[in-house]
Amino acid sequence: MQKTNINPEIYQELLDSAANAAGKGQSQFFTPIEVGQLFGRPFPEHRPALCDFQCGAGHLLQACVNESTRALLGCDIDPCRGQKTNEKALSIKRITADVTRLFPLFAEVNWRFDLGTFNPPWDLWWYRNRLSLLTDSEVPAVRAAFTAHDGRTTPETIDSTVATLMMALDRFTIYGEGLLIANNATLQRLIFAPGAPHGALARHVWAHLTLEGNPMTHIKDHAFSEDGSFQTGVIYFARGHSTGCRFQQTATSHEALDAITKELAQKRRLLRTGPEIRGYAHECDESPHLWKAIAEEWRARHSSKRTDFNLWLGEDGTIRTHLSLYDQKSSRVLREEAVRLNQLASKRPMQLVMQRNQRDDLLRAAGIGHQSVWRVCPKLQEAVEQAVKQYHACRAPLYPLPELQRLGYLDEEDFLKCKKDLVVEDQTLFRAGQAYPLTSRSVSVTRFGQRPNLEGEMETIEYSGQELALLLQDEKSQQRCFMEARLRDPKVNVDIGIDFTLQELAEYFVIPEVPDIAGIDPEGFQRNLKLLEALEQLLSA
């Protein structure tokens, strides 16, 4: 047992973990292996993975393994350096974190688990806002219990014991179950007493053991307590069990606890209802796999400098992309966004800024002018901004353009204003004075021609390429295609129906002015003018 002393390594984290953490100090009970083995006896035979949200050194986890156990998943705010169980014991996949801060990551990747052992800190007042996702839990009892307030904690906080029970029930699979060790008075006051504020949770408890004293402080075969002034409670609960407690016993010694847990294990199938863990149903369990992804994400978020970028610039100047397992499973990343991210890979920024739709995707992904869902290396952002600047400078005309020539720059516009009604068969498609959404895309064009071959005979040749289609959304939100008149030739095949020509576009719509090079890069323009003047003077001399 370790009590009141706070590990200097986690001093600030511990103080921030609960509203009353400063007064409570760092209270830890390391469950003796032999006691934990008795507690774990009523668990199912198939135990592929076990989890503990406040595992400490991992004694309780290690005590509950059997020959079927392949993974131990543990979290604790204290790294517990120097605390050992058994050198030959199964190693714990450990996350050093405050579980209330880690909990949102569980939900973000929909991490679930089947079997849990819990000995949470007693009487800590955890902050409700960190666990607010429990308000929308799939488990009705958790939703009801979380909204309740026990009157002892502040309205902004919740007791650590019941909060741990809620988190476990929320993250369980349908087979999920576990045990929880707590101050028995707390269990009675908050869950089992008539009118208990968090009484909704009682329906998921199938067994309740009361131990006279604290077995974590007495590891020999004698009475847990001499005066009975304190009681420890151990509850067994399951997500699929909803008919309440069916077994209650009190133990005063290790011998009594041994006999009670044997009886509980024998009667398990009569007492514990609902689906339970079976080997054939868990061959593809990804709980440990996702736990590793959560651990990597937690470390990355709390490192002094993040290097796990989704987008960065390679040494060869091409864009590199990467999606971690956490990113792939996270609900914050849409499938469409992931597809667009992969389309940027192995391309240079300048390749992607020349077409409007590709440039928009690049700017959105790089977080330039948009809120990006990705982690982007600042060097890539600089390269993209420079590429966009160079593109606009190279694309800008040397002098103001007439209206028809400005049509080639319409792919940069989002709306076009109609200057006179465009009517087809007594139906007004576009009205004067209204602005209509404009998009553009490249379409495939195929045409046929003839030319003499090497033998002097005429043969048909097929030419294929890409042409820009301008699409305006009309009054009925139907897209109308505007393209060059020559593409209406019967000998030309276009992948889209052409509604109007570019000449008609200029006739019925206002074609915006295009900034020339003097407006895009005035300093460079003036510098080049001076160079030209100097050259003219040299030539005229």
What pLDDT score does 2 carry?
44
> Mean pLDDT over residues 14-23, rounded?
79
**What is the pLDDT averaged over residues 246-260?**
94
pLDDT at 452 over 60: yes
Which of 359, 361, 363, 309 is closest to 340 using CA atoms? 361
Query: N- to C-terminal Cα distance for the chain?
Result: 97
User: What pLDDT, in 10s, does the model give residues 465-508?
Assistant: 988 899 999 999 999 999 999 999 888 999 999 999 999 999 99
Report the pLDDT value the prediction gives residue 7, as an integer from 0 to 100: 64
Query: Residue with structure tokens 């993040």?
Result: 306
For the stretch 53-75, pLDDT in tens is 999 889 999 999 999 999 999 99
Domains of the chain in sequence order: 8-292 (3.40.50.150), 304-395 (no CATH), 414-508 (no CATH)
> Quick one: CA torsion of 311, 313, 316, 317, rounded to 10 degrees?
110
Spatial distance between the Cα atoms of 21 and 1, rounded to a whole number of angstroms? 18
Q: Which pLDDT score is estimated for 87? A: 61
Rounded distance between C-alpha atoms, residue 228 and residue 214, angstroms: 10
Q: Cα separation of 415 and 403, whole Å? A: 16
**Which three-class secondary structure state does DSSP give residue 202?**
helix
Bridge-based pairing of strands 157-159 and 172-183 is unpaired
Amino acid 399: pLDDT: 84
Q: Is the pLDDT of residue 290 over 90?
A: yes
Contact call for residues 488 and 481 (beta carbons, < 8 A): no
Helix axes 33-40, 254-271, angle to 10 degrees: 30
- Percentage of the chain with pLDDT > 70? 92
With DSSP H G I counted as helix, E B as strand and the rest as coil, what are the percentages for the chain, rounded to 5?
40, 25, 35
DSSP secondary structure of 273-339: -S----GGG-TT--HHHHHHHHHHHHHHHTSSS----SEEE-TTS-EEE---HHHHH-TTS-HHHHH
Q: Of the segments 327-336, 370-379, 448-457, which one has the largest average pLDDT value? A: 370-379
Q: How high is the pLDDT of residue 221? A: 47
E runs forming strands in 365-456? 415-417, 422-424, 427-430, 435-452
State the average pLDDT for the chain: 88
**How does residue 27 score in pLDDT terms, banded at 50, 70 and 90?**
low
Dihedral angle of Cα 405, 410, 415, 419, to the nearest 10 degrees: 20
Residue 90 carries which DSSP code? P
- Bridge pairing between strands 92-96 and 71-76: parallel
What pLDDT band is residue 187 in, cutting at 50, 70 and 90?
A: very high
pLDDT at position 1? 40
Total Cβ atoms within 10 A of residue 470 = 21
Q: Return the closest-CA partner of residue 495 out of 469, 472, 473, 474.
A: 469
The pLDDT, as a whole number, for residue 3 is: 46
Residue 355 has pLDDT above 90, yes or no: no
